[in-house]
């Protein structure tokens, strides 16, 4: 077979043949260059420790540490030339360091391997993302608290099965999401604490004969402790999987809220008005205002879920310690982190800017027989009916209201007494939606007083 036919088999992109294919599949620099700050921080800490332990000279360590800062400044300025031939961020940085400082650069890799180096870089990068997620969640929770406080006594329909159930308050609904995102916040903090261990010094898989001070590099890099097993240190990626798991749960909460905003902002509901900053118009229908930001949040969540599954699939069959498969750990995490941070920021922006339409909320709360449960409860309290019998009487009254084309408060006392003779005029005290929500005073209930207590509790906790 001729060289030309061989090249055609490889396809146009890989016309150079097998070498080009191997370089393309082996190199990770196209994406792991994102870890340059972490890689350089790890190398600076490693060099300082090597000098402190007398493994390299102070002058070599100083040259290395200063040279690494030069490399970082070139990368940040966009002046650094990344090379696919050098495979990854570690080799790219080290090659440039050698051009800057010469022979001392060759001593930087003493007592470490790319295996523990990449594990350290990736942990540092993921830790930074957890810190960013914490900030994003806190900002979103504060925006929700503002909405809850402003609408603590605004009535709206509560739903089950997307059918009108019982009246609740706007503030209570907002606080439900505060609780959800609050649990996300606790998961972020838990995950950060658990993953904050230092792999550096584990070397390739077995540790090293050099007298490293792993406590020193741990302190310098903000880790709580060095990892206790060198095999685990280079092969563990559960910290990244836990990041994706936390992100997936939080993304699910974002998607649920996004779905509600899409429904609520529709012409059929009109519960909220989203700001123009987070909506778009139609190219053909001038009346349209589309909740695009909410819809895109709802869609991006699939990428985060997919990343979680993808990384577990990469890791599930790998023996200890390092395998090249693990190079496929980063792109999914990078993409998921980008989309999670963007979704958090977009949701915070929407919540801060949106306007709840109080009149529409109250009108909807007052329809759909939303106080039927209050009527049943009244029958139990005031007429001593068993709840199942009260439920039956209430159902008959709902059917009568449907037949008359009105809601429960619009039925006459005579209508009600024809269904159950012991009903008296005090029934009307519980049929109003404001009375209904005010009566739900159990802990965690929708009563405005309870909502304000929860807002205050959260503000104190976050302060």
Looking at the annotation, which residues are catalytic? 161, 282
User: Which helix or strand (DSSP H or E) is residue 460 part of?
Assistant: helix 448-462
CB 129 within 8 A of CB 54: no
d(CA 98, CA 64): 9
Rounded to the nearest 5°, which phi and psi values hold at 213? Answer: -110, 90
User: Which residues partner with 280 through β-bridges?
Assistant: 290
For residues 422 and 413, give the distance between their C-alpha atoms in angstroms, rounded to a whole number.
11
- Give me the residue label for tokens 């909807």: 364
Rounded to a whole number of angstroms, the CA Rg of the chain reads 31
187: enclosing H helix or E strand: helix 170-195
- Nearest-angstrom CA–CA distance, 430 and 215: 66
Per-residue tokens: 319: 């023996």
- In terms of Cα–Cα distance, which of 166, 172, 137, 140 is closest to 153? 172
Assign 3-state DSSP to the chain and report helix, strand, coil percentages, each to 5: 70, 5, 25
Give CA–CA dist 289/281, Å, rounded.
Answer: 5
Q: How many Å apart are CA 434 and CA 439, to the nearest integer?
A: 9
Cα atoms found within 13 Å of the Cα of residue 89, Cβ hemisphere only = 27
Neighbours of 95 (CB within 10 A): 14
Token duo for residue 152: 């603590």
Q: Which of 41, 49, 33 is nearest to 91 (CA)?
A: 33
User: d(Cα 71, Cα 93) in Å, to the nearest integer?
Assistant: 7
List strand residue ranges (DSSP E) for 206-357, in order: 225-226, 272-273, 355-356
């Amino acid at each position: 077979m001729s060289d030309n036919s061989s090249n055609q088999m490889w396809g146009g992109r890989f016309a150079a043949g097998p070498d080009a294919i191997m370089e393309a599949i082996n190199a990770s620099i196209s994406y792991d260059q994102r870890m340059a700050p972490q890689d350089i921080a790890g190398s600076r800490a490693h060099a300082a420790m090597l000098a402190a332990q007398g493994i390299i000279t102070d002058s070599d360590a100083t040259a290395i540490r200063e040279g690494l800062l030069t490399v970082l400044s070139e990368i940040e300025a966009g002046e650094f030339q990344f090379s696919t031939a050098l495979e990854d961020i570690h080799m790219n940085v080290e090659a440039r360091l050698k051009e800057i400082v010469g022979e001392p650069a060759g001593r930087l890799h003493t007592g470490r391997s790319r295996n523990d180096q990449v594990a350290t870089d990736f942990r540092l990068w993921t830790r930074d993302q957890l810190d960013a997620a914490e900030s994003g969640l806190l900002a979103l929770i504060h925006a929700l608290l503002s909405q809850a406080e402003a609408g603590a006594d605004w009535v709206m329909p509560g739903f089950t099965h997307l059918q009108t159930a019982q009246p609740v308050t706007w503030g209570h609904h907002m606080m439900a999401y505060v609780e959800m995102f609050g649990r996300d916040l606790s998961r972020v903090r838990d995950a950060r604490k658990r993953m904050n261990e230092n792999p550096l010094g584990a070397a390739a898989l077995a540790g090293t004969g050099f007298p490293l001070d792993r406590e020193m590099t741990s302190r310098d890099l903000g880790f709580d402790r060095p990892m206790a097993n060198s095999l685990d240190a280079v092969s563990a990626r559960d910290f990244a999987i836990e990041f994706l798991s936390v992100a997936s749960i939080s993304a699910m909460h974002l998607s649920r809220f996004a779905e509600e905003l899409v429904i609520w902002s529709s012409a059929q509901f009109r519960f909220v008005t989203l700001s123009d900053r987070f909506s778009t118009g139609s190219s053909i229908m001038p009346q349209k205002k589309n909740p695009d930001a909410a819809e895109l949040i709802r869609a991006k969540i699939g990428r985060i879920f997919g990343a979680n599954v993808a990384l577990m699939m990469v890791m599930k069959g790998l023996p200890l310690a390092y395998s090249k498969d693990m190079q496929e750990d980063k792109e999914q995490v990078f993409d998921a982190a980008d989309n999670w941070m963007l979704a958090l920021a977009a949701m915070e922006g929407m919540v801060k800017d949106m306007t709840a339409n109080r009149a529409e909320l109250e009108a909807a709360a007052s329809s759909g027989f939303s106080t039927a449960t209050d009527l049943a409860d009244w029958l139990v309290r005031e007429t001593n009916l068993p709840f199942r019998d009260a439920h039956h009487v209430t159902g008959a009254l709902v059917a009568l209201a449907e037949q008359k084309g009105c809601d429960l408060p619009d039925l006459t006392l005579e209508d009600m007494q024809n269904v159950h003779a012991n009903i008296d005029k005090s029934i009307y005290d519980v049929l109003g939606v404001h009375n209904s929500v005010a009566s739900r005073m159990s802990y965690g209930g929708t009563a405005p007083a309870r909502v304000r207590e929860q807002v205050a509790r959260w503000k104190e906790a976050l302060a």
